[in-house]
Amino acid sequence: MPDNAELAATLDGDFRSEYAEVNGTRLHYVTGGSGDPVVLLHGWPETWWAFRKIMPQLAERYRVIAVDHRGIGIPDELKPVDGFSKKNMARDVHELLRSLGHSSAHVVGHDMGAMVAFSFAANHPEATRRLVLLDVVHPDETYYSRPMLRRPGTGFNMWWMAFNQVRDLPEQLLAGRGRYLIDWLYTHSLRNQEAVTPLDRAVYARAYDTPAGIRATNGYYQAYHQDIEDLKEYGKVTAPVLALAAPTQFDQVREQLSGIATDVRMVRVENSVHWLAEDDPDLVGREVLGFLTG
């Protein structure tokens, strides 16, 4: 299976796999194109590769920096054991940008990456040009009210949010079985099963297949309690925000943003359940480019 450098080389835009030492950890990222910087932050359980379909298009106008979250894309012995609050992960990104010589950037995040992206805009407003959120905003008090047992016909249980809170057991159950997790999630929440190929799934499974990788990435969820408290201290985000959401998430995203951001544009992505940039990359790429170019 190709490594990150080989995957990056398959994309138009002269993309390269790189590493940086920032905020007490090593970060992996892929960069290409030229122009003003655009940071891409992926969701769980994916990697920077989740944006593969829109990166070449963005690279025609921008310097694209697709970042793996802390704990992904690096050897197991280097994976951090803490620092997974979205505020601290946003600091990872901020320090990475500064190390690359950028004082500000457009920031695009999906799922877990959207949480980090929102926290970036809240904590580093001077470094945020425009903010794009895909299907998720940030953990808040409503997360404590999400049901673990849903009524029939009202959607599937988001079991992984509780499962990933558990310490030690997930590593024992999932180590070496990451592909089962990936396939289950896509089978139940991907509009077009062919949008994420067996190779794509293998790339993601590799990142979530070892005990150290599972422990680190579960840390994103175990930090939710701190994230919820941090959000209470944030002022409203004043950077222009574009929020794209699938129909099942649209109202929730709009309602949450109405109280924590001042300049929001909403776009409904009808042909997706959650994996927006993979299900409908044409729409996502077009809307993101249009928004960033004003």
Place of tokens 């298009």: 57
Residue 237 is given by DSSP the state: B
For residue 3, give every residue at least 6 positions away whose Cβ sits within 8 Å of its Cβ, in sequence order, or none.
17
pLDDT < 70: residue spans in the chain: none
**Cβ–Cβ < 8 Å for 201, 186:** yes
pLDDT at res. 33: 98
For residue 190, give every residue at least 6 positions away whose Cβ sits within 8 Å of its Cβ, in sequence order, or none.
196, 273, 274, 275, 278, 279
pLDDT at res. 58: 98
pLDDT at res. 148: 83
Domain 4-292 part of CATH 3.40.50.1820: yes
Residue 106, classed as helix, strand or coil, is: strand
pLDDT at res. 189: 93
Of 9, 81, 72, 82, whose CA–CA distance to 41 is shortest?
A: 72
